[in-house]
Amino acid sequence: IKLQKDRSDLHHNWTTFTMLVLILVGLALMAVNPSDGQELKLLRGDCPPFWYSYGNRCYKYIATPMTWGDAELHCVSQDANLVSVQSHEEDTFVHTLIRNFDPKEASTWIGLSDAQQEGGWLWSDGSKFTFQAWYTGEPSNYYGKEHCGGTNYGSTKKWNDYPCTNKYSFVCKSRETCL
């Protein structure tokens, strides 16, 4: 009879332990800890490793600081260009991607430049420049030396023009559509 009671106690303890583990795993899976209280979801989709899907393109954050020109060449070497931002939603996605790797959201190159003609902003991928998210008073071309565009400027993390020789991290956007 003692052996039956020991078996019963063991079964009860094992069941209790299993239920406790399942509850803890469930709580851990529901926990979200992003810096701004929003759930940040980056999906790979059909993108290569370290690239993330948005719309029908793939995006990659590069933390290594480079000049704007070197950053563009790096993207081109991966069949991409510095990111062109075509909508508020895409701008939000780009910020989410940056924040995922850089919680401080330091200045980051995007594919804008007016190096060919002052004030004639162009995307490096050749797409039309229709959407813009400049910080108040920007672009300013401070001292006539700011001809490349970046994001994460000021408290609102908007766009700014910078000297192209500054070195920042950057975001690449694939040229080919990804299904």
Q: In angstroms, rounded to a whole number, what is the distance separating the alpha carbons of residues 40 and 96?
A: 7
Structure confidence at residue 3 (pLDDT): 52
Query: Is 90 found in the same domain as 61?
Result: yes
63 phi and psi, to 5 degrees?
-80, -20
Query: Is 81 found in the same domain as 26?
Result: no
Q: In angstroms, rounded to a whole number, what is the distance separating the alpha carbons of residues 63 and 85?
A: 19
Average pLDDT, the chain: 85
Query: Is 6 found in the same domain as 93?
Result: no
The pTM of the full predicted model, rounded to 2 decimals, is 0.76
What pLDDT, in 10s, does the model give residues 86-133?
A: 999 999 999 999 999 999 999 999 999 999 999 999 999 999 999 999
In-domain check, residue 82: yes
**CB contact at 8 A, 140 and 161:** yes
In-domain check, residue 38: no
The DSSP annotation for the chain comes to -HHHHHHHHHHHHHHHHHHHHHHHHHHHHH----TTSS----B-TTPPTT-EEETTEEEEEEEEEE-HHHHHHHHHTTTEEEPP--SHHHHHHHHHHHHHH-TT---EEEEEE-SSSTT--EETT--------BPTT----GGG---EEEEEETTTTEEEEE-TTS-EEEEEEESS---
Residue type for position 142: Y
In-domain check, residue 120: yes
Structure confidence at residue 12 (pLDDT): 56
SS3 labels along 55-93: CCEEEEEEEEEECHHHHHHHHHCCCEEECCCCCHHHHHH
Range of the domain at 3: 1-31
Query: Is 110 found in the same domain as 26?
Result: no
Pairing, β 108-113 against β 148-153: antiparallel
Structure confidence at residue 145 (pLDDT): 96
In-domain check, residue 154: yes
In-domain check, residue 126: yes
Structure confidence at residue 84 (pLDDT): 98
pLDDT surpassing 50 at residue 70: yes
Query: Is 102 found in the same domain as 15?
Result: no
**Number of domains making up the chain:** 2
Structure confidence at residue 37 (pLDDT): 42
CATH of the domain at 56: 3.10.100.10
Query: Is 118 found in the same domain as 169?
Result: yes
In-domain check, residue 42: no
In-domain check, residue 41: no
In-domain check, residue 104: yes
Query: Is 131 found in the same domain as 84?
Result: yes
Query: Is 95 found in the same domain as 25?
Result: no
Query: Is 24 found in the same domain as 97?
Result: no
Model confidence at 154, pLDDT cuts 50, 70, 90, reads confident
Query: Is 117 found in the same domain as 163?
Result: yes
pLDDT surpassing 50 at residue 30: no
Query: Is 58 found in the same domain as 25?
Result: no
